[in-house]
Amino acid sequence: MRLKTLILGAAASASLGVLALAAPAAAQSLTAITGGRVLTGTSVIENGTVVIQNGRVVSVGSGAAPSGARVIDARGKTVTPGLVAVDAVLAVSEVGSVSGTGDSSNNANSISASFDVSYGLDPWSITLPVARLGGITRAVVTPSHSGGGDGHDHQDDSDFAGVGEGGLQSPGLFAGQAAIIDLGQGGEILVKPRVAMVAPFGEAGAGIAGGARGAEFVQFKETLAEVRLYARNRAAYDRAGLRDLSLSRADLEALIPVAEGRMPLIVTARRAADIRQVLRLAREEGLKIILDGAEEGWLIADEIAAAQVPVLLDVLNNLPSNFEMRAARMQNAAVLNAAGVVIAIKGSDGGGRVREMRYNAGNAVSHGLPYAAAIQAITVNPARIFGMGGQFGELRPGAAADVVVWSGDPLEPLTIAEAVFIDGQEQPMTSRQFLLRDRYARPGTLPPAYNR
């Protein structure tokens, strides 16, 4: 009874709050979010005003709201760009254990580098509203690969072998191509397909090549040579006038922009020695790489910075979960940032717990990362790393109007996102989880099934 009273009272106030914010707002209407602490992604404006219209940010400053604008009072609140998740599997994996919903990895030999995750995107995925409630408005949906996790892939000790990497097995050196999505309700969520190629190195990559790291690097170089040979001799290839190549035509095609240094290659490497090898490989082959993992990166932070290679970090990896991560430390993010490396901070997984990326950024702060750098690592940096700088992930004129109004500091678990705009469109603040919650937290006289 106590519960019921509490929640009924709450529901009234909560829905009032939502109504106040959520008057039907078309994306094109002029809206001003005023009075909040505005973290633009690169700067802080106290008592700031963010004006949006036609799906774009019009201005960010400290002036008054323009006349005629719908005003959202954000006094006492924090306003940020929508968060940008990297290494996500949102909209390509509905239930982790249900393989039929899993479109983030592929096991066919003939489709590895050419695997294009964007075709599997489901805009109606129940994972999207959950992530959106965590303030995430854009995500880099990234093919999963063996070794992509942190050594703690099992979710409830059900990794009964106790070893291995959650059963993912990529048959080729490449896991496929990532895509950028927005998390806007009800529309086309694909922003840009084929933004990066994924390849595991270290133990995972070695496993694919036969077991040894020395085999993977040789195979990788050989593959690039084939890609270049193919690119120079397409006509000959098409009339079967070229020597046999180990990759399918589709994979060869997909790798041309990688070999030419136009498409970034996301390289999972954890051990400092592996990172160093990968940096050398990139230099020798003219590749544009993004490091993924880099748990031991702090040991050679200056080398990573000198190579101007950005890093996607799981900042909570601080245990020697395997022999690639013996130097794993919570301070990794702080050290890399201090050395000048551009970092992006990941969620706790790519799907259900991607919303924890803001807490992870907070934990990096408590281990030495400057607060401003932590905000950048979940907004501006991921956008820039994937070539979308200025287009989203930042509150600046001309950028997509992805805006989140938070009840407080966005890095705090006690803080919630109160309003989310994507491309200027105010998003419904609900999810399947909230429907379940309300059904059971507010019992009626009939069974819960009648309560919707």
Partner 1 sequence: MRSFRLTGVSLAALSALTLAACATTGSSSGDGAAAAAPREREAMARGLDYAANPDPYPSTYAALPRENMAIVGATVLTGAGQKIENGVVVVTDGRITAVGGPGTAVPAGHRVVDARGRYVTPGVIDVHSHLGVYPSPGVQGMSDGNEATNPNTAQVWAEHSLWPQDPGFNTARAGGVTTLQILPGSANLFGGRGVTVRNVPSITMQGMKFPGAPYGLKMACGENPSRVYGSRNSSPATGMGNVAGYRAAFIAAREYKAKWDKWRETGEGSPPTRNLQLETLAGVLDGSVLIQNHCYRADEMAVMIDIAKEFGYRITAFHHAIEAYKIAPLLAREGICADMWTGWWGFKMEALDGLEANAAIVDAQPNSCAVIHSDDAQLTQRLNQEAAASIAAGRRIGMNIPEERAIAWITLNPARSLGIADQTGSLETGKRADVVIWSADPFSVYARADQVFIDGALTFDRMNPAYQPVSDFELGQPGFAMPAATVDQGAR
Position 452 contacts partner 1 (CB under 8 A):
no
CA atoms within 13 A on the CB side of 33: 37
Please say whether the beta carbons of 68 and 47 come within 8 A. no
Round to the nearest angstrom and report the end-to-end CA distance of the chain. 20
Instruction: Say if residue 441 is exposed, middle or buried (CB neighbours under 10 Å; 0-12, 13-18, 19+).
Output: middle
Any bridge partners for residue 70, and if so which? 31
Position 428 contacts partner 1 (CB under 8 A):
no
Determine the interface stretch with partner 1 among 46-54, 244-252, 258-266, 358-366 (rule: CB under 8 A).
Answer: 358-366
Q: Which residues within the stretch 110-169 sit at the binding site for partner 1 (CB under 8 A)?
A: 126-127, 130, 150-152, 155-158, 160-163
Tell me which residue of 384, 419, 424, 380 sits closest to 402, measured CA to CA.
424
User: CB 250 → partner 1: shortest distance, Å?
Assistant: 31
Show the site string, 169-208: x = touches partner 1 by CB under 8 A, - = not: ----------------------------------------
β-strands 136-141, 56-61: how paired? unpaired
Which residue's CB is nearer to partner 1, number 234 or number 437? 437
Measure the CA–CA gap between 87 and 311, rounded to whole angstroms.
11
Position 351 contacts partner 1 (CB under 8 A):
yes
Determine the interface stretch with partner 1 among 25-33, 91-99, 185-193, 228-236 (rule: CB under 8 A).
Answer: 91-99
Measure the CA–CA gap between 200 and 268, rounded to whole angstroms.
5
CA distances from 156 to 88, 89, 449 (A): 21, 20, 29
Rg of the chain over all Cα atoms, to the nearest angstrom: 23
User: CB 334 → partner 1: shortest distance, Å?
Assistant: 4
Any bridge partners for residue 181, and if so which? 139, 190
Position 95 contacts partner 1 (CB under 8 A):
yes
DSSP letter at 195?
A: E
User: CB 139 → partner 1: shortest distance, Å?
Assistant: 16
Q: List the structure tokens of 108.
A: 């066919």
Q: Which residues within the stretch 299-338 sit at the binding site for partner 1 (CB under 8 A)?
A: 299, 316-323, 326-332, 334-335, 338
For partner 1, the binding residue among 79, 411, 419, 420 (CB under 8 A) is 411
Position 449 contacts partner 1 (CB under 8 A):
no
Position 445 contacts partner 1 (CB under 8 A):
no
Measure the CA–CA gap between 132 and 135, rounded to whole angstroms.
5
Position 2 contacts partner 1 (CB under 8 A):
yes
Position 368 contacts partner 1 (CB under 8 A):
yes
For partner 1, the binding residue among 54, 366, 397, 398 (CB under 8 A) is 366
Determine the interface stretch with partner 1 among 22-30, 106-114, 352-360, 382-390 (rule: CB under 8 A).
Answer: 352-360
One DSSP character per residue, 169-181 reads --SSS--EEEEEE
β-strands 136-141, 176-182: how paired? antiparallel
Which residue's CB is nearer to partner 1, number 9 or number 340? 9
Measure the CA–CA gap between 273 and 265, rounded to whole angstroms.
19
Which residue's CB is nearer to partner 1, number 264 or number 293? 293
Tell me which residue of 235, 311, 215 sits closest to 269, measured CA to CA.
311
Position 264 contacts partner 1 (CB under 8 A):
no
| Angle (deg, nearest 10), helices 272-285 and 213-232 | 20
Position 298 contacts partner 1 (CB under 8 A):
yes
For partner 1, the binding residue among 170, 381, 415, 427 (CB under 8 A) is 415
Q: Which residues within the stretch 268-287 sit at the binding site for partner 1 (CB under 8 A)?
A: 271-272
Residue recorded with tokens 């507010």: 442
Position 297 contacts partner 1 (CB under 8 A):
no
Determine the interface stretch with partner 1 among 42-50, 217-225, 239-247, 357-365 (rule: CB under 8 A).
Answer: 357-365
Tell me which residue of 432, 421, 438, 419 sits closest to 19, measured CA to CA.
419
Number of residues that bind partner 1 (CB under 8 A): 78
For partner 1, the binding residue among 216, 274, 296, 394 (CB under 8 A) is 296
For partner 1, the binding residue among 9, 63, 186, 214 (CB under 8 A) is 9
Which residue's CB is nearer to partner 1, number 124 or number 323? 323
